[in-house]
Amino acid sequence: MSVGFASEAAHVREIGHLSTADIARATNSDESTVRAWLNETRSPTGDRAERLAELSSIVERLVLVIKADYVPVWLRKPNVALDDDKPLDLIAAGSYREVSRLIAALESTPAS
């Protein structure tokens, strides 16, 4: 079994302080499935692997512009720039690019 995508779940949890529930929500998976990924006894495939890769990309960029321990809050909060949708839900729906564009705006805003 390839553990590449499974190790990505651990990476996201570690750098973004995400819970098993957060990862499950973003990937449309059960928490038990995510725990299996984290234990590297299973690996996501198909759409779940895609959502996990997208979540990882988002988290890696977010930790560069906001405090890592705030990442889970940011991902769960309704965001006016996303029509009050929550970033985790948009990622789960396959709307990664909407969230990515918002992060691009954060990345281009000079720190005060």
What residue ranges do the domains of the chain occupy?
4-108
The pLDDT of residue 1 is 43
Has residue 2 got a pLDDT over 60? no
Q: Give pLDDT tens digits for 21-54.
A: 999 999 999 999 999 999 999 999 999 999 999 9
Q: Is residue 48 within 8 Å of 55, Cβ to Cβ?
A: no
Three-state DSSP class for residue 85: strand
Least confident of 1-15, 37-51, 78-92: 1-15
Quote the pLDDT of residue 112: 52
Q: What is the pLDDT of residue 3?
A: 64
pTM of the predicted model as reported, rounded to 2 decimal places: 0.92
Backbone CA torsion sign across 64, 12, 89, 2: positive
